[in-house]
Amino acid sequence: MAKKEVQFSLVYRDMWQSSGKYVPRKDQLAKIAPVIIDMGCFDRVETNGGASEQVNLLYGENPNLAVRTFCKPFNEAGILTHMLDRGLNALRMNPVPADVRQLMYKVKHAQGTNITRIFCGLNDPRNIIPSIKWAKEAGMTAQATMCITYSKVHTAEYYINLAEQLIEGGAQEICLKDMAGIGRPAMLGTIVAAIKEKHPHIIIQYHGHTGPGFSVASMLEVAKAGGDVLDVAMEPLSWGKVHPDVITIQAMLKDAGFLVKDINMKAYMEARSLTQSFIDDFLGYWIDPKNALMTSLLVGCGLPGGMMGSLMADLKGMHAAINANLKKKGEPELSEDELLVQLFDEVQRIWPMLGTPCLVTPFSQYVKNAALMNLYSRSMGEKDFTRMDPAMWGMILGKSGKLPGELAPEIIELAKEKGFEFYTDDPQKLYPNVLPHYIEEMEKLGWDRGQDDEELFEFAMHEKQYREFKSGQAKEQFNKDLLERMEKAAKQGEQVKFISAADKRAILHPSSEPIEAPQAGKVLWELDFNEDSHAPAFGTFFKKDDVVCYLETAHGIEALRAFDHCRLVAVDRQQGDKAVKGDAICWMEKAEYVEEPKAKAPKAAKADTKVVKAKESKWKDSSNVIKAEKK
């Protein structure tokens, strides 16, 4: 009998997002892709989806270019690419109109993404089946996804019935998305075996995080039951709250008699080194070291490892406030660990009260937030569930889909007290089509809809972030955040030893270029030398060939001119300072300007006189990269 083949998918996107906030830049993805291919063990790679394209915008990079760049080499090598898709929420945290959801599949297929992994945190088929239809129409493979968790509601029978509904709805593949890694191995094997018995042609892919420690055993059980593809990670981002490493899983399956591909270890070590270099470059400043650790505390609360970073940040912010309230009441203060255990216990307590949604984005955040606010409310002497936000109520009232379990009577009563109405119809009907609005807006702004309407899609999917990306505000804010984190790390003796003025300038203005001294001399920003003479203010605009400053040399005074239309972003030499050949006197960043004719001039004036007006809000940065790309 031939050996059963099991394939591996490298979840390169999820590796980063389960570790921290951001994903690598386009240039970094271009470097790592051929090395991943050279490893020779992957039939699939997760390239995009989820929040990754939104965070591209947040650090000032066009996500469409990043997706095309990363997918292309895998497409050429015959390795399938797949993305994460939140069903009704598509690529964001809140529901998306149907026309934008439908456009997503056309755009992502055109960009080179082969498979879409469609999930709903409520496992509501109404939120998944339309996406199956749209994905197939666009030429993508529709992988319907069941969010795995462990509760009285989420039994093996529950998942087997759900799989039947999704396959009947047109799913070509089934994914078991074990986002918290709390699916019990035996139960997972039972689910896979039942699906395979009835639908042997359906490919089953398993995705399990390592947080509580079940995932290695789960992968073996899934493979034995007939699973086809396993999601794996690689060092330095494997294990912890992320996913098992491909080396371990490959060795385990090989020993168990499965047919698995060999790993080119030279390429593995190169990919490992490159990934570490991306961490050292800038991504590591958003990675919580605790995400590298596993914890059995997740077994009970069921929270996904991917949100532990945000949870710990929220906990730190609330810790002081809760202790201040306890102190006022004369009660003992809590340590951070004590508060963490209380939070996990509260999540476990209220989860079934709130209808037992799968604890995955965004519902994991909703339940965690409700639990944390309950702890805060108690410290204030208030009742539970008094501080729930509209998004939480939207889930409770059915506006995101049907909850898997029943709401507790006190939650139903609280909703009635507030005058809220429960919704039982298809949630998509609550969110009307919007693309004509965005098309009209782009025409007014003079923005191109992009290749295959990809820019239109980004605008409609992530309006706020896209506007900030287009204006340059996103990149500016990201660079400031990066600098603050670098300075904090330097003070704590981590990663960065010293941040010079040049380092700051390179981070905040990565595309700037120097005006250099052509020979030795004295810098003169003003020819009339006096104690009040100084360099122009930051942001001063210069037209191409305008005199920026002067250099007094042994041969006379030489004017140094702007190499392009630009603005001043940093000064290295002040009035009267000496410079040698090659020294940077100042740094300039390319900028747009608008020429406007003056108001009608008197007869004595020249009719063609023009004035140059710098528009700061439209300064164009010619680069979308940060410091590392300039090295």
The answer to whether 117 and 84 are in contact (CB under 8 A) is: yes
Residue 381 lies in a domain: yes
**Euclidean distance between CA atoms 396 and 5, whole angstroms:** 43
Q: Quick one: pLDDT band at residue 248, thresholds 50, 70, 90? A: very high
Per-residue pLDDT band for 610 (boundaries 50, 70, 90) equals: very low
Query: The tokens of 319 are what?
Result: 């810790």
Same domain membership, residue 425 and residue 307: yes
- What per-residue confidence (pLDDT) applies to 625? 32
Same structural domain, 516 and 622: yes
Same-domain pairing of 318 and 424 = yes
Among 429, 445, 472, give the residue marking a domain's end: 429
CA distance 230 to 232: 6
Residue 504 to residue 512: CA distance in whole angstroms: 12
Q: Where are the beta strands (DSSP E) in 395-526?
A: 513-516, 521-524
pTM for the complete prediction?
A: 0.80
Class of residue 66 by CB neighbours under 10 A (exposed 0-12, middle 13-18, buried 19+):
buried
Backbone angles phi, psi at 507, to 5 degrees: -75, -50
Query: Per-residue pLDDT for 614 more than 50?
Result: no
pLDDT at 310 over 70: no
Give the pLDDT confidence of 427-443 residue by residue, as tens digits.
Answer: 999 999 999 999 999 99
Residue 196 reports pLDDT greater than 80 = yes
* pLDDT tier at 508, thresholds 50, 70, 90: confident
Secondary structure string (H, E, C) spanning 312-348? HHHHHHHHHHHHHHHHHCCCCCCCHHHHHHHHHHHHH
Inform me whether the pLDDT recorded for 626 exceeds 50: no
Domain contains 478? no
d(CA 560, CA 585): 10
pLDDT band (50, 70, 90) for residue 613: very low
CATH number at residue 540: 2.40.50.100
Tell me if the bond preceding 304 is cis, omega within 30° of 0: no
Tell me which amino acid residue 307 is. Answer: M
Residues 305 and 410 in one domain: yes
Decide if 617 is inside a domain.
Answer: yes
pLDDT bucket at 619, cuts 50 / 70 / 90: very low
pLDDT band with cut points at 50, 70 and 90 for residue 539: confident
Q: What is the mean pLDDT of the chain?
A: 89
pLDDT in tens, 79-88: 999 999 999 9
- Residue 40 located in a structural domain: no
Chosen domain end from 429, 449, 480: 429
pLDDT bracket for residue 57 (50, 70, 90): very high
Of the candidate ranges 69-73, 149-153, 195-199, the one whose mean pLDDT is the lowest: 149-153
**514, β-bridge pairs:** 587
Q: Which of 352, 353, 334 is nearest to 342 (CA)?
A: 334
- Concatenating the DSSP letter of every residue in 359-373 gives S-TTHHHHHHHHHHH
pLDDT of 181-192, one tens digit each? 999 999 999 999
Alpha helices in 4-124 (DSSP H): 12-17, 26-39, 52-58, 63-77, 98-111
| 403 shares a domain with 520 | no
CA angle (31 as vertex; 30, 34 as ends), nearest 5: 85
Q: What pLDDT was estimated at residue 594?
A: 59
Q: Are residues 425 and 519 in the same domain?
A: no
Residue 481 resides in a domain: no
Last residue of a domain, one of 429, 445, 476: 429
The dihedrals phi and psi of 566, each to the nearest 5 degrees, come to -155, 170
Lowest mean pLDDT among 27-41, 145-159, 328-342, 408-422: 328-342
pLDDT at 529: 67
Q: Based on the fold, state whether residues 318 and 416 are members of the same structural domain.
A: yes
> Edge-to-edge strand order for the sheet containing 513-516?
513-516, 584-590, 566-571, 541-542
Q: For residue 496, what pLDDT is reported?
A: 54
Quick check: 302 pLDDT over 90? Answer: no
**Residues ≥6 apart with Cβ < 8 Å to 16:** 22, 23, 24, 52, 237, 283
Indicate if the pLDDT at residue 476 is higher than 90: no
Print the domain residue range for 547: 511-630
Q: What is the pLDDT of residue 596?
A: 52
Task: Look at phi and psi of residue 542 and say left if phi exceeds 0, alpha if psi is from -120 to 50, else beta.
Answer: beta
Q: How far is CA 422 from CA 222, 328, 389, 412, 535, in A?
A: 38, 39, 16, 9, 65
- Let me know if residue 220 belongs to a domain: no
Q: What CA–CA distance (Å, rounded) separates 312 from 290?
A: 9
pLDDT at residue 527 in the model = 85
The answer to the question of residue 609 being in a domain is yes
CB 517 within 8 A of CB 580: yes
Peptide bond into 236 cis (omega under 30): yes
Average pLDDT, integer, range 333-354: 90
pLDDT at 340: 86
Q: Say what the pLDDT of residue 533 is.
A: 77
Locate 357 and state its tokens: 């949604």
CA nearest 510: which of 545, 469, 476?
Answer: 476
Same domain, 520 and 414: no
> Is 306 a member of any domain?
yes
Give the pLDDT confidence of 15-43 residue by residue, as tens digits: 999 888 899 999 999 999 999 999 999 99
Q: Say how many domains are in the chain.
A: 2
**Residues facing 233 on adjacent strands:** 245
Distance, in Å, from the CA atom of 299 to the CA atom of 303, rounded to the nearest integer, reads 8
Alpha helix ranges (H) inside 172-328: 185-198, 215-224, 246-255, 265-281, 298-301, 308-328
Are 143 and 205 in contact, with CB atoms under 8 Å apart? yes
| Inter-residue contact 568 to 538 (CB < 8 Å) | yes
Q: Work out the average pLDDT over 107-135.
A: 97
Sorted by sequence, the CB contacts under 8 Å of residue 450 that are 6+ apart come out as 64, 456, 457, 458
How many C-alpha atoms does 261 have within 13 Å on its Cβ side?
17
Residue 413, pLDDT > 50, answer yes
Q: Given a cut of 80, is residue 118 above it in pLDDT?
A: yes
Summarised one tens digit per residue, pLDDT across range 460-470 is 999 999 999 99
